[in-house]
Every structure is written in structure tokens, then in C-alpha cells.
């Protein structure tokens, strides 16, 4: 058990806020103070109390304390106990490369239906009133009055009357090329009457994400009529840093959370990694795909995104809150037993959750 207690241990960062309390580090009145040192740099010594370069109160070193190495600070065991210092063993573990970023919800473009015409004419009986309207597959969207479609129907009927198979087939192909449904062509063949307007129906369930026409408008093939979106799945578009680009691959798990849905986490996958970086921001766009039961996720919602971009095996890890970043270096505090503590400069690596990788400066145990 004593060997375990003497293993190199690492301080939780909260100890340093407590070190600012002079009374918690007070010794008995008859103890003689040799000098004062900075908690983060024992080489910074002064002959009276004051502040360290980092703004912390200097820590006294007493005459009756055991001799330590130049980089160590000794704090009486009862003081350590009163501080409630927490420690964690330096150990090896597997750490996921978790990328924390933000993103917005977008339509799944593979489930969009764009409504266009192949001829010109006038829109009649438009059933879609505005963007956001919900439609069902097979629902009437609008009717089109088009002299060109009327002429094409009459040509087909004339070919049928003349029993000219070659002309009938050519006329039938023209009707299909103009966008007349096969069901309407079958009706023509059976009833032998041309319609003045042709009906257009919803090809899928969804919502109207774009509506560009109004009842009575004259439209041409180059005009977009509407777009229908299926929200059963959605995309989340996120950006990652340039140095993280090699971590991400298609198929990796991802999560998204939204402030307006506290406690809920939606799970998805990386569907596509874009091939180039943004020239200005140097960020790489990643497309994630999420199931959307109940359509809780709406396009343009903004959320926190987490991408689990593979794992690093058998690496040195410590609690993330134990790492102290000074601006020019990174340090941790080692508890070496018998009240001896040593600041140690380290180089950190990836972060994941509450843990962080230490690439150099520490060894296991």
C-alpha cells in the first residue's frame, strides 16, 4: 500500500485556488520561514510574502521541513488534508479523438424533390399556399393549362384514330417527353378525349421547402415550381480545424445537442468529408447524417456537435483539469509523497471528455 501512495500522482487544478488562502498554509507559530516561493516555480524565491509572476500568493518554506530538490515544494500533511487535495494516478488508456465543434441542421438533399415543367403554360388550382406546407405522396399540387400539351394530346388521338402505329408511338413518346404521366397517357388511349389541363401530384411525403409560383402565373421550363423535402433524416453541416482534417473519416459516429432540447442527444454518422478547406477560415466542412424521428430537428437549427474520430491506444492520460496552461508552457503538479510536490512541464495532446493526453513530461505510475 505504501508503494501505491508513493507513486507519482497528479494534482487536480482546484488546489491552486486554495493555495491563495494564506491561513490554510499556516504553520505553528514557532516554525521559522526560510524563504517564500512561487507555487508554480520553486526557483522563484523571495524573502517575504508576495505574489508570483502568475498572480498566486507565494508559499512559505520552513526551516524544520525536510530537504527537497530544487524543484520541489513541501506542504505539511495536515495542510494537504485540510485543503482536500484530490489526486489521480498517471496511467495509460485509450482516448478517443473527440472533436467538439458547432453545426447547423440542413435538408438531406438526397430526399429533395424539385418540381419543374417541361413545357410552358399557366398554373391553376395551386394547393400549396406557402413554404412549410405539408404534403402527402400522390396529393394534387396544381394543374397546368398549356396549349402545347393540348396539341400533343390531340396529335396522339389522331394517330390512334388513323391506326398509324408509327405516328402513335412517336406522339406517345412526345407526350412522355413533355412530362405527361404514364397514367394520363393510358387514360387518353382508353377514353380518347384530351384534357384542357394536366394535373401534377406530389412524388413524395414531405414539406414544401421552396415555393416559387402563385395561382395564375405563366411559367416556362426554366422556372422552378417548388421543392419538397422529406425530414425523416437531416444533415448537420459542421466545420473542423485544419489540423483535425486527417482524423475524420466517413462512417465515424457523431452526436449533436441543442440548447432548446436539454438532456437530449441525437446520434448520427459522418456521411461526407468535403475535399477542400475554406480559403478564408482554413476550416474543413464535414457533413453528418441523423435520423429525425418526430421531425424534432428543423433546418437552420444551431447545435453543439461531437465527432468521435477514432481512438489513440495505450497513451499517457491525466484529468484535463489538472493541466495548467501558463500561456508559454503547460505544467502539472506531481505529488511525490510526504508532502512533497513538484511542478512538471509537459506537452499535451488530444483531449476527450475529462481526460487529456500527455505526450511528454510524465511516465506511467
Task: Considering the domain delimited by 109-229, tell me its CATH architecture.
Answer: Beta Barrel (2.40)
Q: Which residue has the cell 394535373?
A: 199
215-268 tens-digit pLDDT: 999 999 999 999 999 999 999 999 999 988 988 999 999 999 999 899 899 999
The DSSP 8-state label assigned to residue 231 in this structure reads T
Residue 64 CB contacts under 8 Å (≥ 6 apart), including other chains = 31, 32
> Mean pLDDT across the stretch 312-327?
85
Q: How confident is the model at residue 76 (pLDDT cuts 50, 70, 90)?
A: low
Q: Long-range contact list for 247-251, CB < 8 A, 24+ apart? A: 247/97, 247/99, 247/309, 247/310, 248/99, 248/273, 248/284, 248/286, 248/307, 248/309, 249/273, 249/309, 249/310
At 246, list the grid cell: 486527417
Most confident of 62-71, 118-127, 328-337: 118-127
pLDDT of the residue at 15: 44
Find the range with the poorest average confidence among 126-130, 161-165, 303-307. 161-165
At 259, list the grid cell: 440548447
Find the range with the poorest average confidence among 10-14, 176-180, 207-211. 10-14
Select the more confidently predicted residue: 83 or 311.
311
- Contact 293/83 with Cβ under 8 angstroms? no
pLDDT of the residue at 2: 26
Nearest Cα neighbor of 237 from 72, 107, 65, 64 is 107
For residue 269, report the phi and psi dihedrals to the nearest 5 degrees: -140, 160
pLDDT of the residue at 33: 81
- Contact 333/341 with Cβ under 8 angstroms? yes
Nearest Cα neighbor of 131 from 154, 107, 102, 166 is 107
pLDDT of the residue at 28: 46
pLDDT of the residue at 68: 54
88-111 tens-digit pLDDT: 888 888 887 889 999 999 999 999
> What's the angle, vertex CA 175, arms to CA 174 and CA 180, rounded to 5?
145
Q: How confident is the model at residue 145 (pLDDT cuts 50, 70, 90)?
A: very high
The residue extents of the domains of the chain are 2-89+323-360, 99-108+231-311, 109-229
Task: Considering the domain delimited by 99-108+231-311, tell me its CATH architecture.
Answer: Beta Barrel (2.40)
Q: How confident is the model at residue 170 (pLDDT cuts 50, 70, 90)?
A: very high
Neighbouring-strand partners of residue 115: 226
180-203 tens-digit pLDDT: 989 899 999 999 999 999 999 999
- Contact 321/351 with Cβ under 8 angstroms? no
- Supply the mean pLDDT for the chain: 85
In this prediction the pTM is: 0.65
Whether residue 67 has pLDDT greater than 60: no
pLDDT of the residue at 160: 93
Whether residue 324 has pLDDT greater than 50: yes
Report how far Cα 360 is from the mean position of its chain's Cα atoms. 30
118-131 tens-digit pLDDT: 999 999 999 999 99
pLDDT of the residue at 16: 46
pLDDT of the residue at 87: 80
pLDDT of the residue at 336: 78
- Contact 93/355 with Cβ under 8 angstroms? yes
For residue 132, report the phi and psi dihedrals to the nearest 5 degrees: 100, -15
Amino acid at each position: 500500500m505504501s508503494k501505491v501512495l508513493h507513486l507519482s500522482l497528479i494534482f487536480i487544478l482546484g488546489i491552486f485556488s486554495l493555495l491563495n488562502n494564506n491561513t490554510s498554509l499556516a504553520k505553528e507559530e514557532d516554525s521559522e520561514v526560510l524563504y517564500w516561493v512561487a507555487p508554480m516555480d520553486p526557483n522563484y524565491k523571495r524573502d517575504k510574502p508576495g505574489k508570483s509572476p502568475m498572480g498566486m500568493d507565494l508559499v512559505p518554506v520552513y526551516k524544520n521541513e525536510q530537504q527537497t530538490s530544487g524543484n520541489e515544494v513541501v506542504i505539511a500533511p495536515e495542510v494537504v488534508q485540510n485543503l482536500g487535495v484530490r489526486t489521480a494516478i498517471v496511467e495509460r488508456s485509450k482516448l478517443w479523438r473527440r472533436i467538439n465543434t458547432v453545426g447547423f441542421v440542413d435538408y438531406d438533399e438526397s430526399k429533395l424533390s424539385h418540381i419543374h415543367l417541361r413545357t410552358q403554360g399557366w398554373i391553376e388550382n395551386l394547393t400549396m399556399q406557402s413554404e412549410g406546407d405539408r404534403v402527402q405522396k400522390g396529393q394534387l399540387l396544381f394543374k397546368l393549362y398549356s396549349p402545347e400539351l393540348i396539341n400533343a394530346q390531340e396529335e396522339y388521338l389522331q394517330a390512334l384514330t388513323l391506326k398509324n402505329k408509327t405516328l402513335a408511338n412517336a406522339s406517345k413518346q412526345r407526350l412522355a417527353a413533355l412530362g405527361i404521366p404514364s397514367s394520363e397517357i393510358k387514360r387518353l388511349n382508353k377514353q380518347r378525349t384530351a384534357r384542357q389541363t394536366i394535373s401534377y401530384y406530389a412524388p413524395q411525403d414531405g414539406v414544401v421547402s421552396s415555393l416559387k409560383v402563385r395561382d395564375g402565373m405563366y411559367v416556362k421550363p426554366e422556372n422552378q415550381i417548388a421543392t419538397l423535402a422529406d425530414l425523416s433524416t437531416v444533415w448537420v453541416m459542421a466545420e473542423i480545424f485544419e489540423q483535425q482534417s486527417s482524423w475524420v473519416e466517413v462512417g465515424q459516429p457523431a452526436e449533436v445537442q441543442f440548447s432548446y432540447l436539454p438532456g437530449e442527444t441525437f446520434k448520427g454518422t459522418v456521411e461526407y468529408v468535403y475535399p477542400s478547406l475554406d480559403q478564408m477560415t482554413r476550416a474543413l466542412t464535414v457533413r453528418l447524417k441523423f435520423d429525425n424521428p418526430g421531425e424534432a430537428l428543423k433546418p437552420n437549427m444551431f447545435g453543439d456537435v461531437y465527432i468521435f474520430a477514432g481512438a489513440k491506444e495505450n497513451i499517457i492520460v491525466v484529468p484535463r483539469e489538472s493541466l495548467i496552461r501558463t500561456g508559454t508552457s503547460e505544467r502539472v503538479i506531481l505529488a511525490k509523497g510526504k508532502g512533497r510536490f513538484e511542478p512538471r512541464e509537459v506537452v499535451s495532446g488530444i483531449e476527450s471528455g475529462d481526460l487529456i493526453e500527455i505526450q511528454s513530461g510524465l511516465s506511467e505510475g
